[in-house]
Amino acid sequence: MKSILFVCLGNICRSPLAEGIAKKLNSEYYIDSCGTGSWHIGETPCANSIKIASQHGIDISRYRARQFSSEDIARFDHIIALDESNLNDLKLLGATNAIKLGSFGYDNMDVPDPYFFNGFEGFEKVYAMIHDCVEQLLHELETK
Ligand code: 4NP
């Protein structure tokens, strides 16, 4: 089974959304997410990510944050970073073929970090961007 790992900083806002969306769109891949940082290990996704996912029929409330490990490099076929800083961190950690989610149809843009957003505002845009890029990523993998 081919596998995809989505990586952000805390694994509580953006990459759990990417994981939930990818799992909903395609069941033929093993899909997981993690963070480069260790602050939130074991925590559930942030309340606003759980809420926006739930508004789109996706339950991410049981996900638990974990930290990226060098073992992930061999375990996953595709390692996808949510922003440039995650990508740079991954490359420093040895994931030299990691790619940025925004390269799939969003002009290589970073997915903004909603951790520092004021309340729920902005989560719909982040959700839409992640959804469109994940859809495009899956499409490109299927047609490769
Ligand atoms: P995420 O958001 O990378 O999308 O999960 C963040 C979560 C936590 C922190 C930063 C970003 N933090 O600094 O603790």
What is the pLDDT at residue 55? 98
Distance 1 CA to ligand 1 centre (A): 29
What is the pLDDT at residue 144? 78
Which tens digit of pLDDT belongs to each residue from 15-52?
A: 999 999 999 999 899 999 999 999 999 999 999 999 99
Q: Is 8 in the pocket of ligand 1 (CB under 6 A)?
A: yes
CATH topology of domain 3-143: Rossmann fold (3.40.50)
Please state the three-class secondary structure of the chain as a single string.
Answer: CCEEEEEECCCCCHHHHHHHHHHHHCCCCEEEEEECCCCCCCCCCCHHHHHHHHHCCCCCCCCCCCECCCHHHHHCCEEEECCHHHHHHHHHCCCCCCEEHHHCCCCCCCCCCHHHCCCCCCHHHHHHHHHHHHHHHHHHHHHC
Q: Is pLDDT of 116 > 90?
A: no
Q: Is 130 in the pocket of ligand 1 (CB under 6 A)?
A: no
Which sequence positions are flagged as catalytic? 8, 14, 113
Distance 50 CA to ligand 1 centre (A): 14
Confidence of residue 138 (pLDDT cuts 50, 70, 90): very high
Rounded (5°) CA angle 105-49-107: 15
Q: Is the pTM of this model over 0.95?
A: yes
Which tens digit of pLDDT belongs to each residue from 52-110?
A: 999 999 999 999 999 999 999 999 999 999 999 999 999 999 999 999 999 999 999 99
Distance 18 CA to ligand 1 centre (A): 14
